Structure 1
Amino acid sequence: MNTDPSILSKRILSIDILRGIVMIIMALDHTRDFFHIGAMTGDPLNPETTSGILFFTRWITHFCAPTFVFLSGLSAYLSAQNKTPAQASAFLFKRGLWLIFIEIAIISLGLTFNLQYNFIILQVIWAIGWSMIFLALASRISYQTVLISGVIMVFGHNIFNLFPAPQDPTGGLILKVFFTASGTVVPLSANHLVGVFYAILPWTGVMFVGYGIGTWFKKSYEVKRRQRNLLIAGSVTIFLFIALRLINVYGDPVPRKEYQDLFKNLLAFFNVSKYPPSLQYISMTVGTAMLILAFTERINNWFTKIASVYGSVPFFYYVIHFYLLHTILVVVFFATGHNTKEIIQVPFLFRPAAFGFSLPIVYLIWICVVALLYLPCRWFKKYKETHRQWWLSYV
C-alpha cells in the first residue's frame, strides 16, 4: 500500500482539480444565459438551428452539474470517515436543509435580482440539498444500501418516461418534482411562481454513486488500484452511453433524431437530456469525470494549481459568481441605452429577451469573471485552512 503523504495530497488534489475545472466551465453557461443575444429566444442544442461553436458552448457545460453532484457524494463519504455514523448523518441532514434554504433565499436572488421573489428558481443546489437529506437517511442503514440505491435510481428512473403521467394533479406534480422535472413551474399565487428545473431523485442517484466509490479514495487504498478502477468504470460507463445512444430505445426521454446531414447527426448523437438527467446523459458525463479523476491523480502544474483553488471552495465560488455576473449585467444594461421601463423581465431582471452580444463577447466576459474570482477564492481557501469556525463546514 502506498500511503506517502505527498501521494495522498495529490489524490485529494485530483478531486479539487476536477471540481475546479467544472466550476470554471459552469460560469461559461451562466455568462451565456445573461449575455448571449440568443440565450432567451433559441435552443443552442437544437441541431436544426444551432452552430457548431454555439452547440459546444452549451454542451460542454453539461458536464458540470453531474460532476459536481458526483463529487459531492464522494466528498460526503470522505468527510464521514472522521465522524461517527450518527454525526455524519446529522451533518448531511442539516447541510441539506441549509442548501435548500440557500437556493431559495440567496441563489434565486442572485439569478433574478428580484427582491420580491416573484420567481424562485430551484436548480442544482436544491437537488444537492435533497440528495444530502436522503443520503443522511440511507447511510445510517448501510454503505451497500447507498450504493445499490444509487445504481437503481441512475439506471431505472427513465422507466417513468415509458408510462403516461398520472392524471391526478397532485400525483403528477410529485412525479415531476422527484423524477421528470423539466421546467416545471408551480404557481404559489397570482404573482409568485416556483420553477423546478432539477428533478430530485435522478440527481440523488448520482450523489449516491459518488458516495459509493468513496471507498476507493480511503487512505489505505492503493493508488494504482484506484486509478485502474476509475479507468475501467469510466470506460465502461462511456461505452454504455454509446451503446444506448446507438440502440436508441432506452435511457433518454426523447429518442435520438436522425437527419440527412452528417454534422447534424453528430450533434444529435450528443444532444442528451439534462432536464431530467437521463441515463445516457449521466453515463456520458460521470464516465468522463471518472476518467479525468484517474488521469489527474499525479498531475501538478500551473493549471491544476489554479483549478484546485476554485475547486477547494466551490460553494463560495458558486454563490458569488451569480452576483458578479448579474452586477455586470446591470452595468451593461444601462451602458447600452436600456431604461428603467425594461428592467422588469422574467425570470431575470435587467435581461430583455432581445438583449445580448455575440459569442466572442460572451467568452471575453466569462474569462474576465473567472479571473476576477480567483483572488477572492484563494483568500477564502486560505481562510478555511487557518480557521475552524463551525459554520465553515457549511460553505
Structure 2
Amino acid sequence: MNPSLHQLTTAKTLTPNKVRIESVDVLRGLVMVIMALDHTRDLFHSAAFANDPLNLASTTPALYFTRWVTHFCAPIFVFLSGTSIYLQSLRKTKKELSRFLIQRGLWLIVAELTIITLGITFNPFYNVLILQVIWVIGISMVILGLLIYLPFRLILALGLAIVLGHNLLDASEAAPGFKPNVWWSLLHQTGLYPYAPNYMVLVSYPLAPWLGLMLLGYCIGTFFKPTVSPTRRRTVLTRMGLGLIAFFIVLRFSGIYGDPLPWSQQKDSLFTLLSFLNVQKYPPSLLYMCITIGPALLFLATIEPVKNRFTRLIGTFGRTAFFYYIAHWYLLHTVCLLVFLMRGHSLAEAAKIPIPIKFVVPGEGFSLPVVYLIWATLILILYPLCRWYDAYKTAHKEQWWLSYL
C-alpha cells in the first residue's frame, strides 16, 4: 500500500473515536444549566425549605414546573456518564479503563464528602456529610470499573434488571414496622444517620437505581460508535425515546407498578396532570427514569445535526460539567452568605439554622421572578469561567489530572 494512502486510511479509522460527540455535550450542558435553577431556588426562594414545591395543596403551576423540570438533571447526568464511559472504552483497553474508573470514582466520592459538601452547606465543621449525585456517580464508576470485564449483554441485562425491578423493594419498605439502616439507605432509600455526636451523614442518592441507570447509559453508547451512521442512531434514539414515554403513560395510568406515589384526580385538569407527573425522585422510581430519559433520547436525536451558536455555548458547559458543578455551588452560596448578612443576620446566627445548609433561613427569601434573575446572572458569570477552563483543558491535554476535574 502507498505510505501516504496508508496514513490517510489509518487517520480516518482512528479519528472518529477521538472526536467528542457534540450532542452528548449539548444535552449534558443543558441539564447543568437547568440544575443551577433548582439550586438557586433552594438558596433564594422565599418558600425554600418551608414548603415542598411539588405539594399540590400549596404550590403554584409556575413553582411546580420550576422544580419539576429539574427532575431531568440527575438522571441524564448519570445516564450520560455511562455513555461517556462507553465512548472511552473505544480508545482504552479494559485494564486501562477499569483502573481509570476506579481511581476517578474514588476521587469523586472524596470530592463529594469534602469540596462539594462544603460548597452546599458552607459549614466548615462538616456536621452533615451529604451523599448526592457526585457520590453515586463515583461509586457507580467503581462498580462499573469491575463490571466492564463482563460481556456487553450481561451488563445490559444487569442494568435492565435493576432499573425495571428495584421498585419491587417498595412493598417491603412500606410494610408496618420497617426501619431502614444506613446500609439499606446506601442501597435503596434516603436517610439521615448520626455517626458521631452532632455529626451525621445524609444519604440523598441511594446506589441501586442510579447504578442501573449508569449501566444502561453505558450500553446506549454502542449506538454512538463510529460504525453507526447518524441516521441509524437518530432513528434508534427516537424510537427508544417515544417508547419510554408511551411506557410511562400506560404504566402510570394503570397505577400497577413503577412508582410508590399514586396519582389522583385534582381540583382541575391542570392539577390532575401535575399529580400524574409527580413521580418519585428519592430514590428514582422506574417511571421517574422513563419520563426523564425518554425525552432525553428524543433531544439527542433532534439536536445531533444542529450546529449553531446555542449548541456551541451550551456544549461548553457540557465539556466542563464537573468544574461547572463545583463552581456554581460556591458562587451561589457566596451570594447567599452576602444576602444573609445584608438582611442583618450575624455569622453566629448561622450556627442556629435548623437545616444543614447554612445562611438560608426557611421562609425568608425572594419571589420566583427574582430567583430566575439570580439564576440567569449566575449562568452569565459561569460561561466565561467554563470557556476559559475548556480552552485550558484543550491546550494542556498532557496533564493527567485534568481528566479528574
- TM-score for the superposition, normalised by structure 2: 0.92
Query: In terms of mean alpha carbon deviation, does 249-258 or 59-68 score higher?
Result: 249-258
Q: 1:126 aligns with which of 132, 135, 150?
A: 135
CA distance in 2, matches of 1:371, 1:378: 11
Match of 2:340 in 1: 333
- Does structure 1 conserve the Cα–Cα contact (< 8 Å) formed by 2:131 and 2:205? yes
RMSD: 1.9
Q: What is the Cα deviation at residue 303 of structure 1?
A: 1.1
Unaligned residue ranges in structure 1 (runs of 5+) = none
1:306 is matched with 313
Residues 165, 172 of structure 1: 8 Å contact kept? no
Structure 2 residue 217 is the aligned partner of structure 1 residue 210 = yes
Equivalent residue, structure 2, for 1:391: 401
Mapped partners of 1:123, 1:305: distance in 2? 29
Contact 1:7 1:298 in 2 (8 A): no
How does 1:172-191 map onto structure 2 within 5 Å? Answer: 172-181=181-190, 184-191=191-198
Aligned-pair CA distance for 1:201: 1.1
Give the conservation status (yes or no) of the 8 Å contact 2:84–2:218: yes
1:86–1:105: structure 2 CA closer, same or farther, 3 Å change rule?
same
Classify the secondary structure of the residue corresponding to 2:21: helix
What is the aligned-residue identity percentage?
Answer: 46
Report Cα offsets for 1:164-214 as digits up to 9, x if no partner.
479786x74322221122xx0010122101100011110011100010011
SS in 2 for 1:188: strand
SS in 1 for 2:192: strand
Structure number with larger C-alpha Rg: 2
What do the CA deviations read for 1:97-136 (whole angstroms, capped 9, x no partner)?
1110000011000011111100111100011011111111
- Say whether 1:64 aligns with 2:70: no
For 1:231-285, what per-residue CA distance to the aligned partner results, in whole angstroms no more than 9, with x for missing partners?
0111101111111110012101222233243222111011110000000000000
SS of alignment partner, residue 139 of structure 2: helix
Of 190-199 and 346-355, the range deviating more from structure 2: 346-355
**Residue 30 of structure 2 corresponds to residue 21 of structure 1:** yes
Structure 2 residue 256 is matched with structure 1 residue 249: yes
Check whether the contact 1:135–1:146 (CA below 8 A) recurs between aligned residues.
Answer: no
Give the counterpart letter for 2:400 in structure 1. Answer: W
Distance 1:338 1:160, change over 3 A: same
Residue identity opposite 1:390 in structure 2: W
Give the conservation status (yes or no) of the 8 Å contact 1:110–1:326: yes
Quick one: which amino acid aligns to residue 121 of structure 2?
Answer: T
2:84 corresponds to 1:75: yes
Q: Offset of 1:374 from its aligned partner?
A: 0.5
Change beyond 3 A, Cα 1:168–1:240: closer
- In structure 1, the partner of 2:279 is 272
Note the alpha carbon deviations across 1:44-101, whole angstroms, 9 max, x for none. Answer: 0111210010001000000000000010000000012111111111111111111100
Distance 1:118 1:243, change over 3 A: same
Q: Cα offset for 1:35?
A: 0.3
Flag structure 2 segments of 5+ consecutive residues without an equivalent: 1-11
Q: 1:137 Cα shift?
A: 1.2
- 2:18, 2:91 within 8 Å by CA — same for their partners in 1? no
Q: What is the Cα deviation at residue 338 of structure 1?
A: 2.0
1:50 pairs with 2:59: yes
- In structure 1, how many angstroms separate the alpha carbons of the residues matched to 2:13 and 2:370? 46
The secondary structure found in structure 2 opposite 1:246 is helix
Deviation, structure 1 residue 334: 1.2
Per-residue deviation at 1:10? 9.0
Structure 1 length normalisation: TM-score? 0.95
Match of 2:388 in 1: 379
Map 1:89-238 → 2, pairs under 5 A: 89-164=98-173, 172-181=181-190, 184-238=191-245
Which region of structure 1 is more displaced relative to structure 2, 357-366 or 341-350? 341-350
Q: Given that residues 29 and 319 in structure 2 are in contact (C-alpha distance below 8 angstroms), is that contact kept between their aligned partners in structure 1?
A: yes
CA distance in 2, matches of 1:369, 1:34: 13
- Residue 402 of structure 2 aligns with an amino acid whose one-letter code is L
